[in-house]
Structure 1
Amino acid sequence: MELVKLNDENSFDPTPKLKSSSVPIFFVSFDERDNNCFHCGEEYTRTIIYGQKYCKKCLSCYLNNITAINIHLVVYLFAKDSECTDYHEIIRTKVPPNIQECCLIILFFKQIISHYQLFDNTLDDLYDKVFEDEKYCKLCGKLSYQETDHKFIIKFKLCSSCYLISSGCIESTFTEKFISIIYLPFWDNTSRCYCDKKLVFTSNCQKYCENCFIFFIGCRYCLTTNIIFGITNQSQCKKCKRISTIIFDRTKIISINSGDSVLDDFLINIRYDQLKIAKFANDLKNINKYFIPSEIYNNFFRHDQKWVKYIPYSQLTNVKKIAEGGFSIIYQATWIYDLKNNNNSIVILKRFKNLQYAKKYFLKELESNYCCYKLGSYVNETFGFTKDPKLDDYTLVMRYASEGDLHKYLQNEFTEIKW
């Protein structure tokens, strides 16, 4: 499977065998944690296979409102009265509009990503029939896989010929540089970012990570998802070409609002230096027949990623001077990084004595400390930087070393050092 690279190629269709819906699809949530429908408030029902959540009421309304006889979404159904399974396409003529009163049970939706595997042991025969049938793509008829390992067979998979992933670049409205975007041919309802932080939901089809500033924008007419690696103001669906205005107030994000545009650019850009988008693209080239959505971008970057950030001076208390050298003054302080839960940590503040030197070399110092720490060098971690409103200069915020600086440590422990 080749990763399709796009910039201005508007003809690309991520799901060429399916058609965009004529009405928005409200029966699924963009947040896998939701238990009640965001649209009507009804409790979600889980599908028999994969436990996908959907609203029966909104699904029935959707089927009643469809006017075009087109394939919008692939779904597996189970008829209770005949105890048989069948493949159906969600179109007006093939699925009974009122599913609530029908004998049909939805087994799973094909385009809605699933991170779970919920199975009923009493329905093993049913599962065997479904997964045997799944070996062949229902849209193109291609044999997707021949594996026999049960752990593999039950994983949620998509055909690489009918569900196409593409990438491109768009201009960031924050840094005015080009940022990466990946167009996914499925509905990504994950509630956590790749860094394992909880996503912030700004609408029923938009969410972002406050740690990485990765944005997930879904299209409710096509059930596709755009992943944008940076801050911008618009997102366009590659299938139906609808443009969405991204809901995001940058001024409320303290960690990237230092007041200095150069430093803020640095805070944004480092979050994407660590992304392994190139590896992701290379991995996709090796996909031949199918891919597993929940696994294809697990290697973007490691979990629990920590980035340097701007720290408001108001979060620092008990500031006291503890040392002074030729170029800088060192202070000890308490950093209250989580006021709600009263979480705090002892840190050190490093302020340059020469203001002109600080203005010229502060960013270099910040970059050097950050890069050395990320490379695994034995360098004290830099959490970020702050600005003392009284002195009007920037100060590094670093991890507190309880045994003092290197000079003091060598004086006290020299005879015990083995290296």
Structure 2
Amino acid sequence: MASQNNIKCKNCSDFYTNIKHKWCKPCQINKVNSLKNNIANSTSGNEKIDYFIQEAQLKFESYKDTIVEWIPYNQFSDIKEISKGNFATVYSAIWNDGPLQHDEHYEELRRTSNKEVILKRLYNLQNIINDLLYEARVYSIEKRKYAYLKIYGISQNPDTKDYILVFNDGYCLNCGKIVYTYKWCRSCQINNLKNRFENWTSGNEKIDRFIQKMQLMISYYDDIIVEWIPYGQFNNIKEISKSDFTAIYSAKWKDGLLQFDKNCRELKRELNKEVALKYFYSSQNINDFLFEIKSYSINKFSTIPWIYGISKNPDTKDYIVVLSNDYCENCSELYTDIYYKWCKPCLLNNLRINFNFTSWTSGNEKIDELIQEMQLKINKWNDIIVEWVPYNQFNDVKEISKSNFAAVYLAVWKDGPLQRDEHNEELKRTPNKEIALKCLYNSQSFTNDEFLKEVKSYSIEVNSYNRILNMYGISQNPNTKDYIIVLDNAYCENCSEVYTNIREKWCKTCQLNNFKKYFSHEISRNEKIDDFIQEMQFEINKWNDIIIEWIPYNQFINIKEIGEIGFTTIYSAIWKNGPLQHDKHYGILKRISDKKVTLRCLHNSQKITNEFLNEVVKEFSIVKEESSLPNLFGISQNPDTQDYIIVVDNDRCETCNKIYTVICRKWCNPCVLNNLRKAFVNWTSGNEIIDNFIQEMQLKINNCNDLIVEWIPYNQFNNIKEIIKNDSFAVYTASSNQVFSNVLLKKFFNSQNITNEFLNEV
């Protein structure tokens, strides 16, 4: 277990909200408030904007999340216009002081000065403040949401009085479009590649067209840019393998691969790149050659070889496909796992030759065959290599549990298991590995089937997410002759049983026992409620299920009435200590402080019945991923009225105060529909029938994953290419400025007069 100094905040002495990064959410909130009080001009002067900023500051859940601020306009320098529209102008700028961020080394908030940011100045809005805040809510404060611009704050131009949204630097400085990943702009890179078309040629029109097509297929910053590569670019050409139709060589490409450098944000070459050259004999038949090339990939996360380009031997005139060097250096075959450069046949051969896997024996032919069978089952680079482990390899052997059939011990394996080092691609041992030994009594007399069944109940997959224990090998006690299964140490430190959830190091039994420590003083003094809470606590089945509690009323602050439903008054509030949650890093329960919750105060509920409590179970859920039911945190009681209160997760939309349509995603269908209706005035197709149709389609959405149909101006499409055409319609591929992917366009000929047939097709 970790020391208290490492897991408790040095300011408030409570457990860190994020122990690994030494981040305390309550202390960060206090720090933000104190900075706000000590800094002049820290408010906008507008109550709605100030409330939005305060609300956003309470929403952060991670040490990485952005702290939204009111930013005085004089904080910006080097302001340059990027793009301009009817309702907004976008600028690049330097924020002098920069945003607040948690510094885990100093355990405090610090500013990142001279931060490059984007300013979006809004104007010509119908309802200035509401439209501004609606726009602001579109963006994210969560650093892990890579598909969204991150909002740093709001500002105001003192001369024009226009409000300004401040974002991370997420716009392309060339074309003004939003870019999401490392400031990589697909449109600009495509244009750059098009401008280079005239600078090279293979001498064959079909190959030139093919390469150009491959270049225009890139979708992500790290996709490979296929090129025509002159043969003189290759050095150190060495034959790897040869057949009647092809030969494969390793080589070094002098100039190397052209790729986007995410640090300097431009295209650069990776000099002296190791590649594989695949020669096609008599490849003058271009169609057959190009068909072969289509089997390779430009996606760097693909499990098939990557294609870098095409070349040609000037002497033999044979065409060459330039590939990633994914051929094993030892056997010249393609790696079993290309991404990790792992070759299964060579691994098994390596075990036989270099690790004496042919010279060992358990002394039992069936056990030897079983271990060899387990080794042959390896299918991934990080699968466990099962071994015969001599008993003298174990130190510090300590018994942790015992039954009539077996005993379990913790121990240290001196040499440790064999593992492939993904950096230098060699097999290495991990010395002094903590493991568990399961000693099976009288196992000398086991039949092969009995022992095999026991062994097969374990896993060799390192990233297995289920409850199966990992097995490292088999051993034998030299004194008792009992066989031992060498396992991963997945036994709870407290009760010595296998964790209920091995991956999260969660033990249900111990968590239930811990409840006595946490809740010994927190009782309602109502036997029915206490029994109900205990019963709900015992229903926990997963590490992140919610732990129901009796919550003293004085734990709630910022209580605000939302409305009434029947015999219930609804309030929003902040729960100071917050709910208990299992911390998988340290195997402890800790609280998520300052949790926003909803309080459902039940009128005249002093006399509570079992029937009522059973109804509560039906209305709420303790499963965190449950989307249709609000999560139940506990029960409380107003000390003045004696009315009982159901405490649930914040299940109310901040705009309309109704329960979210999809609670776990905080998505409100009525508000989405309302916002779409308001936006009807901002666009038109010029055709009333189509406008009505699109509006009707928009108002049909009822799930957060539904697509919102739009009228899309034609100038939003790039790289339009025809793929199908007949008498009635044509189909094109295109890239869209508004979405992060390619689209298909289906054009209907003579469709100026809208018919029901056309709308039915849509």
- TM-score, length-normalised on structure 1? 0.40
Structure with higher RCO (Cα < 8 A, 6+ apart): 1
Larger Rg: 2
TM-score by length of 2: 0.24
